[in-house]
C-alpha cells in the first residue's frame, strides 16, 4: 500500500469543488487516512515547492498556494501515487484530458485544482510537511475485501 499527498488547491476550494474532487478518489477505491483544511503559509509553500525554486512560475505559484485555504488529503491504496496522478491529468488544464480532474473542472494552466506527489520520495517528504505524527489514521475499512481481492492473502 502506498500513501500519497493530495492538495485541493485554493481554486478548488473557492469553486466549491471539494466534495466532487474528494469523491473521485473515494469512488476509485482509495482510502482517506488524513484530511484537513488549512491556509498554507509562505514558509510551508516554499518548502513544499522547493524543487521548483528559481523557475519562472515559482513566485506566482507560491502566491497562489498561499492566497486562500486548501484541503490536504493523505490517500492510500496500491499504486496510489501513479494512479492519483493519472486521475489528476496533465499539469495544464488546457492539455488535461476529459475524464481527469484537471480536464473536467478547469482550463487554466496555473490554477489547476489539485496537487499530487509525483514519486515515493516526494510523497514521503510532502506527507511529512503537511501531517504531524499521529495525524494519519490507520484504520481497517469494512469494505476492503470488496475494493481489493484479498483471497490470495495479498490485495489484488
Binding site for Mg ion (CB under 5 A): 118
Binding characters for ligand UDP, 23-62, by CB under 6 A (x = yes):
-----------------------------x----x---x-
Partners of residue 8 on adjacent β-strands: 71, 114
CB closer to Mg ion, 46 vs 118? 118
Q: In the bound complex, what is the minimum distance in angstroms from residue 48's beta carbon to ligand UDP?
A: 10
Is residue 48 annotated as part of the catalytic site, yes or no? no
Question: CB of residue 118 vs ligand UDP: minimum separation in angstroms?
Answer: 5
CB of 118 to Mg ion, least distance (A): 5
Amino acid at each position: 500500500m502506498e500513501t500519497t499527498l493530495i492538495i485541493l488547491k485554493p481554486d478548488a476550494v473557492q469553486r466549491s469543488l471539494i466534495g466532487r474532487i474528494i469523491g473521485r478518489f473515494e469512488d476509485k477505491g482509495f482510502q482517506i487516512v488524513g484530511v484537513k483544511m488549512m491556509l498554507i503559509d509562505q514558509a510551508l509553500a516554499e518548502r513544499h515547492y522547493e524543487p521548483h525554486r528559481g523557475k519562472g512560475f515559482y513566485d506566482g505559484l507560491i502566491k497562489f498556494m498561499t492566497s486562500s485555504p486548501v484541503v490536504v488529503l493523505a490517500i492510500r491504496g496500491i499504486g496510489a501515487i501513479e494512479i492519483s496522478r493519472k486521475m489528476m491529468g496533465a499539469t495544464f488544464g488546457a492539455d488535461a484530458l476529459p475524464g481527469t480532474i484537471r480536464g473536467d473542472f478547469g482550463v487554466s494552466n496555473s490554477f489547476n485544482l489539485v496537487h499530487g506527489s509525483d514519486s515515493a520520495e516526494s510523497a514521503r517528504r510532502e506527507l511529512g510537511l503537511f501531517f504531524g505524527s499521529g495525524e494519519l489514521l490507520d484504520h481497517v475499512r469494512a469494505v476492503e475485501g470488496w475494493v481489493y481481492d484479498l483471497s490470495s492473502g495479498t490485495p489484488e
